[in-house]
Amino acid sequence: MIRAHSVESVRAAEAAAMAQLPEGELMSRAALGLAEVAAARLADTDGTTVVGLIGAGDNGGDTLYAVAHLAESGFACAVVLVPASGREGVHAAGLAAAEAAGVMVHEAAGAAAAAAEVVAEADVVLDGIVGIGGRPGLRPDAARLVDAVDDDAWVIAVDLASGLDPAGEEGEDDAVWANETVTFGTPKPVHLLPAGEAATGRLTVVDIGIDVDDVPPAVERLTWDDVAGLWPVPGSGDDKYSRGVLGVVAGSEAYPGAAVLTTTSAAEAGVGMLRYVGTPTPVGLVHQAVPEAVVGDGRVQAWVVGPGLDTDADDSDARTQLDAARAALASDLPVVVDAGGLALVEGRRDVPTVLTPHAGELARLLTRLEAAAQGTDDATSAAPEPGPSTDDARSSVNRPAEVTADDVKADRLGHARRLVALTGATVLLKGATTLVVTDGEPVRSQADAPPWLATAGAGDVLSGVIGALLAAGLTPHDAASLGAMVHGVTADRVSGGGPLRALAVAHGIRPTVRDLLARGRSAPS
């Protein structure tokens, strides 16, 4: 498990460590680790020149000491002091160390063009403008220097890419775009969250001796080695019922294939037994594709409701299936709700529930539930109608604003949290980075899949895996995050760099789980 800690937790751990250590020791360790990484990249790329961008805080201090080490190792090193106050504004002892090591010092203040030329010559750029003390965004003078970086230069962000929000809550277009980030002590939330992950690049954590083992993380990411500890492996006393029976209400005459994808992936994930509830066409397909599934209602330990469900269909078979979907949602059993099933969610959920929207589905659900919570009409009519009567005009003023998919994409975590607050459910928000948010738990953030996974039906496969894990007794938080991780890793293996189709991902789940479990058995304890 990768754990990222909040800025407050990091500052507290740093203070505790500093109290036990000589002054400057943490910064010295940070700088040495940073210099080692930079030296390795210079060796990899046959680079010779290093430029450090130096801001006003300790992030600049780390960078000055690191550049001093690199100069002592024989690299051609320069620093550009970014603050308007020049030398007065930067870490004095770090600057003295750099100068003593022969580092060229340039002040951007009053000489912006000359400073930009220095930056443009660098093979490796160390971004020490701001770290965990930074506010989101770059000031214009800093942004101009960052723009001057050569496209072929290797950019190493010190602690975090300057301009990002350290907490990863706010997205920021105006930030350093790093090839790599060298962080200290523990990852920060921004490194793992959609708002900062792309600008972070490859992440290396330098151990500087701060202790956060007992400090609750803000964000977590499951890794391959977590599978052996979390995956439900049957014991000799188990039978198919004790392992967990999953009921699937999915597929319709309009979208029959979703039923095949969801039941196939649940079977591939090793569920004890599957029950399937659907209309005639998907029932026929499931019989053929997943002969182990039992058709019809019955006792189960968890439900998947919604992939390919057509909530607009009105024939008697569809109505029977929708009744089963509503009954599953009204039962006290754990449930995964996806796609069409999301339209049946009414508000607070008092039973273990995983909602698995993509950005557009989350936007629609939030719009509807927030309108309902405020006692207004379904907010599909959230926009004011032309020429309203006085009463209509008053009620439209009170309606909550419609949430769009673009709103969600601009702040994925914030919107996922809003749905958690409204429903009490675990919310899994799909995307290149999939977020799993549960009240009272660290956010789980998984980024295991290639973009090829953005293909129709991939979400149906995900719901089957999560359903199998819920039926086996995992918590919604673990089932959702472990399911997302295995789904993503499977997609990566099956893709191998090329196109993917959803059914191939479903068929890849079994060998992926087998290999991840074997890895756990062979890992040193």
Ligand X SMILES: Nc1ncnc2c1ncn2[C@@H]1O[C@H](COP(=O)(O)OP(=O)(O)O)[C@@H](O)[C@H]1O
Q: Is 181 annotated as a binding residue?
A: no
- Are 186 and 212 in contact by the 8 Å Cβ rule? The answer is yes
**Minimum Å distance from CB 93 to K ion?**
19
**Minimum Å distance from CB 280 to ligand X?**
22
Stretch that binds ligand X, among 124-132, 158-166, 232-240, 427-435 (CB under 6 A): 427-435
- Residue 140 class from Cβ within 10 Å (0-12 exposed, 13-18 middle, 19+ buried)? exposed
- Are 430 and 436 in contact by the 8 Å Cβ rule? The answer is no
Encoded amino acid at 297, one letter = D
- Among 156, 216, 165, which residue's Cα sits nearest to residue 193? 165
- Among 309, 261, 275, which residue's Cα sits nearest to residue 459? 261
Contacts with K ion by CB under 5 A: the residue count is 4
336 binding ligand X? (CB under 6 A): no
Closest CB to ligand NAX: residue number: 131
Partner whose binding site includes residue 171, from ligand X, K ion, ligand NAX, none (CB under 5 to 8 Å by kind): none
CA distance 135 to 146: 17
- Among 248, 340, 350, which residue's Cα sits nearest to residue 292? 248
**Cα 302–Cα 306–Cα 308 angle in degrees, nearest 5:** 135
- Beta strands, E only, 347-433: 353-355, 426-429
**Between 208 and 437, CB nearer to ligand NAX:** 208
With H, G, I as helix, E, B as strand and everything else as coil, classify residue 358.
Answer: coil
Q: How many helices (H) and strands (E) in the chain?
A: 20, 18
CA distance 437 to 158: 29
**Minimum Å distance from CB 25 to ligand NAX?**
9
278 binding ligand NAX? (CB under 6 A): no
x/- string (CB under 6 A) for ligand X, residues 259-288? ------------------------------
Q: Is 358 annotated as a binding residue?
A: yes
Which of 162, 434, 445, 475 binds K ion (CB under 5 A)? It is 162
Q: Which residues ranging from 115 to 144 are in contact with K ion (CB under 5 A)?
A: 127
CA distance 444 to 226: 13
Stretch that binds ligand X, among 3-11, 47-55, 184-192, 430-438 (CB under 6 A): 430-438
97 binding ligand X? (CB under 6 A): no
Q: Is 112 annotated as a binding residue?
A: no
Please give the annotated binding residues, written as ranges: 258, 308, 358, 430-434, 459-460
Please give the annotated binding residues for AMP, written as ranges: 430-434, 459
Which residue ranges make up the site for ligand X (CB under 6 A)? Answer: 339, 358, 430-432, 434, 449-451, 453-454, 456-460, 462, 487
Which residue ranges make up the site for ligand NAX (CB under 6 A)? Answer: 14, 18, 26-27, 30, 55-60, 62, 129-135, 137-139, 142, 158-159, 184, 208
